[in-house]
Amino acid sequence: MHKTVAEMTPEELKEMLGELIEAKLTEFLGDPGEPTSLRGSLRERLELQRSAVERGERGEDLADATRHLGLD
């Protein structure tokens, strides 16, 4: 049986988020055991996201997000 996010304990949510982040980083960066530089597409995406955060269009302070989620 699968749980919804609302049904998860803070520890289960942290574990799930960690797995998702690791999967995304592996998707973007490749095998972490192999030395590599940022691919052009990833560099461009990170720059676009950074600009959007600076303009206030996206993003939330990490401390605010963890407090909101009850993870602090």
Kindly give the confidence (pLDDT) of every residue in the chain, 72 residues in length, as a single tens digit, with 9 standing for 90 and above.
688 888 989 999 999 999 999 888 877 777 666 666 666 777 788 888 888 888 888 877 778 888 888 887
Q: What is the pLDDT of residue 18?
A: 92
Q: What is the pLDDT of residue 17?
A: 92
% helix, strand, coil for the chain, step of 5? 65, 0, 35
Cβ atoms of 43 and 28 closer than 8 Å: no
Q: What is the pLDDT of residue 31?
A: 67
Environment class of residue 23 by beta-carbon count within 10 Å: exposed (0-12), middle (13-18) or buried (19+)? exposed
> Which pTM was predicted?
0.45
Q: What is the pLDDT of residue 35?
A: 62
How far apart are the two ends of the chain, measured CA to CA in Å? 28
